[in-house]
Structure 1
């Protein structure tokens, strides 16, 4: 009986405590500062708790703060998730050619072929073999190619060979009709230029020998006549020809099958014969084009030389590579 009384008293005490608790109003929660806009996801993530039996799956994650930069790990995972074969945004597309290194600044602009007059050079990259031979006009400027050389600076080396006959002033030169001698002089000039470029190369950027078997030749005025003569006499070695301000209309028989010729005239020069010749060459089956140098009188390339000559040479390189 005593044990039953004890139990009864205990139950009464519990009931009294519960009654008192229900009668007292709950204490209001402490005020909480609103979370910063960028921290909303973090606050929710910190306050969220789940029983072990209801844990989130590994593939589900809460959104991160929109103002927070992506971590290196997330950037790496995004890259890894790209479709197979898709290039990274910071890399060039597959198959893009590597940019050519410019030639060393200490390469000589003048070389001395043995037993000959100096030849003048505008160097292309050490890894580029293509050559453009320049033949000046009668007693003309052998450095006139500088008006347009920059247009092909990444694609070719320009070598200007002087004439073999001195002019009355003994300063400049003109051309004889010795085509075999001219061809040999070009060979010697190219050997001298290749030697200078080879000496300037390094283990990182070795210089490749210039191509002396398939040349582009640009001739101005009388030099254009000699350029046409070279193409007719040595068609395999000179398959690409640019004839600028030539005194005579070029003939179809000068150009072998597979060769190409660009005829260029100054807008302020006599040019009807050149325009008509270009049309005749085209109807004869010769690969030919005709361009005009704006504002150019005879003896000058004019203010737009780089663009027009660049177009002419680019066309030649494409027609007879």
Structure 2
């Protein structure tokens, strides 16, 4: 092997060590392996050990001993990391305290614990839930809801299913936070939050975003998805199966791989001709445009015009507590009057 090839190999191994050290240090700092007092010093020592091992790999004849020692430490960390398990039995924030589930009797699906809070402000509300039976044969629409609060690149994506043009139920894939927790994108990589499917009345999950969130305010858009309604029914049942599975076996949320957008894409794989993976799914703010480019939204308008006409904030604020909230926010939207 030439000297250049050996040096390149050493460089590759050193970079792998540095990547593993960075991940391990962050896992210790943000994860729940250690007490709060130990997180910073132990994470710092692990990161430093990785840096030292990478330097030795590049400049010392004892490189393989150093790499082997760090590899052992990293494997032990992974074994320790695997002991962190998700749970349904924590002290949850009230918005995610009650798990939804469904019972199925042929084409009749009864959704239990549909959330419908009565909001006075975003943080001041009266919790409320109800059960409702939906006839799968009457499902006639699927709508994509995108809500923006930090620029065009990032959005929270939800789906809402309509039945006979009258009844709607929305699903929002979120983190299940404990009472003392705040959301952190970085923490979301390190098993800090359980995965939660909010099953909600649109007067809850949409209205809280259009009418009550002020810091920062959110812009909400609703788009009718075009496609065979059989696909919508299969997708609805895939959500139902996942919700029931999470009730029995909790899972962790992950900022990159198990989030509000990637999970939707995974669920659509129950349908033939589902959309392939795209970078626009990771930059979730571009998801509506991606769906449009693949012919699944109303393409009789340019996307820019469709987006402008699909903003529902004003309609939702005018409808507010109205019993026909869902119909009012769709009254003037393109492509939503008929399935």
Please classify the TM superposition score into its range, dividing by the shorter chain length: under 0.3
TM-score by length of 1: 0.25
Q: Which has the higher strand share?
A: 2
TM-score by length of 2: 0.24
Q: Which has the higher helix share?
A: 2
Name which structure has the greater RCO, CA cutoff 8 Å, separation 6+: 2
Structure number with greater Rg is 1
